[in-house]
A and B are shown apart, each in its own frame.
Chain A
């Protein structure tokens, strides 16, 4: 029983050792060597882009020809139909992503963050039903301007899936087909979206593994022969196979141990810098988002409570729920704080209370809360107009109205 996992562990350790050795050498040669390594990664990225026949785009900062958001979610509502009534899992959510941007979607489990992401890509299974809204996608591969994903038919969806919007699933063990070799699963994606010859496709699969630092010999492995970290890397490599514009990452590191987690996050950041895709990063871990993302959206009971830049959220979180969420995670940098949980539990989404869904657990709840229109408006007195919240009664942290 223990041996296959043990083998995989050993292999992973070997790979780690390899990388460690590489890092050591890099340290010895200091700056020059590191630059060389970076250029190696860039080269791999170049190869990926060249193979797909698209021009390499620069990092997000340099921008691309596309203007406006690449994904614009408007008033999206999703329900799960059950015999005892509709569960309103996502309620009138507005969120947009710019090219190359990293948006963190935070919230506790059951808050609807995954439903939002999978609903926007039409991947939810029955009894899910999208009841309202629009999701306009405007990627560079798409000609004819933004198109509403909610109005696409099966064929159109097939085209934008993976080549435009790729997903890194929460548990790579479950998301990889257990009876197919890594190579065949990579080739599946390559064949579905890229026009490449047999040899080119095989080369491409190998290059993809290079990209995430997995030895090419692993192409012949089955998922169960890989360690948890390696599987998630394979998943990431697969997500990048068709050079997507947007990668949805659904708690990609939750199932991994802390050391591997850091490794993989660093890799994601590096790949994002070189390949320039946008990221929708779903997690319940606020401290992770503060480091990783450009903007953070906080979700609760199917609704967005606050959206703002990572900096604003860290320093001036407005909504009491966001403050609670920040309080329930230790910050990786900065002073130690006492952890404060949020007492109570989320409302029943079959029969949500009127007004703000958080009122029952809110420290600052007042009678008006039941009449709040849940629309995002700029936080009173905030530094940036992009810092918005659904709570009309709060200002930046410490400045309660």
Chain B
């Protein structure tokens, strides 16, 4: 079976596991979520209790578990995640569609930048192992060990609150521009995203760099790199086409696996910047026990990470002829 199809099959299984978890968690967790919600939202009419029970599947007259499961899958397929509790009449999916672009653009771009920067630095540190860049790694590891949100707060305090170099949080300035596809708004939004992006890059670059450096050192010891040097090729050619090109493959695999972790950290960071993305939405959902919203966000993040992984797999296929060869089996 072609490699990509096998991977696709795997992601379908992973997505199904996530969906099923999402279905069973509210039904099997101890405690009474409905009461908690009713207590939290005194404004809700008693009649809403039935609706919430139906949504969480905890009521008695919901039919068999199997039929509930079927209904649930149908709902998800139609992007119907129910009604939001906090912003009562609004649907969960409408809230998601408002916030997803913000997160996707910020976290996506910053993560990709961090990956490329870290990989490039890792190539240099691995080629010149023992050099100044390589020796600066422990310092970078300290940056990596700082929680995202903590670094975000410190940077926000120093660079925005005290020094006024960057705007103090938010995705855009509502007093200056109004959302839409116009230049002032886009520029304003970009300006607001620089500091969050720097935070993501700073905290995640060391991880990519360390990983690439290690793979690079291992690859430089391979015969084909020595052979390339024996051939009298230019150093640049040896570094990139022979060493780095091969070291990139394990690096890409690592990228796919680490993606979920990096994205999760970036979401918590959004909270600090009051960035109007999925992370902030998640915090609000947690603080108000807004379970349907939490569930929908969990599903969204999982699906985004799965799709990103699929893209990484496609890149791997493009880079590695050996993976392509396996397609024949």
Contacts and interface: CB of A to CB of B under 8 A. Distances in A.
Direct contact of A and B (CB under 8 A): yes
A175 B231 CA distance: 11
B127 to A, nearest CB: 13
Interface string A155-195: 00111111100110111001111111000000011001100
Interface string B183-227: 000000000000000000000000000000000000001111011
A161 B232 CA distance: 5
Contacts of A169: 223, 226-227
Contacts of A121: 230
Given A3-B329, A4-B328, A179 B319 contact: yes
A178 B246 contact: yes
B325 interface: yes
Interface in A37-86: none
B54 interface: no
Interface stretch (B19-27, B148-156, B234-242, B280-288): B234-242
A123 B226 contact: yes
A245 interface: no
B157 interface: no
B227 A163 contact: no
B329 A175 contact: no
B233 to A, nearest CB: 5
A123 B226 CA distance: 7
The CB with the most chain B CB atoms within 10 A, among A3, A125, A158, A179, is that of A179
Contact of A179 (B227, B237, B320): B320
A171 B226 CA distance: 12
B230 A162 contact: yes
A391 to B, nearest CB: 34
A204 to B, nearest CB: 15
A160 B230 CA distance: 10
A193 B232 contact: yes
A222 B227 contact: no
Contact of B328 (A3, A158, A170): A3
A192 B221 contact: no
Contacts of B222: 174
Nearest to B319: A179
Given A3-B329, A4-B328, A167 B230 contact: yes
Contact of B325 (A157, A161, A193, A222): A222
28 contacts: A3-B329, A4-B325, A4-B328, A7-B328, A121-B230, A158-B232, A161-B229, A162-B231, A167-B227, A169-B223, A169-B226, A171-B223, A174-B224, A175-B223, A175-B224, A175-B227, A176-B224, A179-B246, A179-B249, A179-B320, A180-B241, A180-B245, A188-B237, A189-B233, A192-B231, A192-B233, A224-B322, A225-B325
Given A2-B329, A225-B325, 5 more contacts: A3-B329, A162-B231, A179-B319, A180-B245, A188-B228
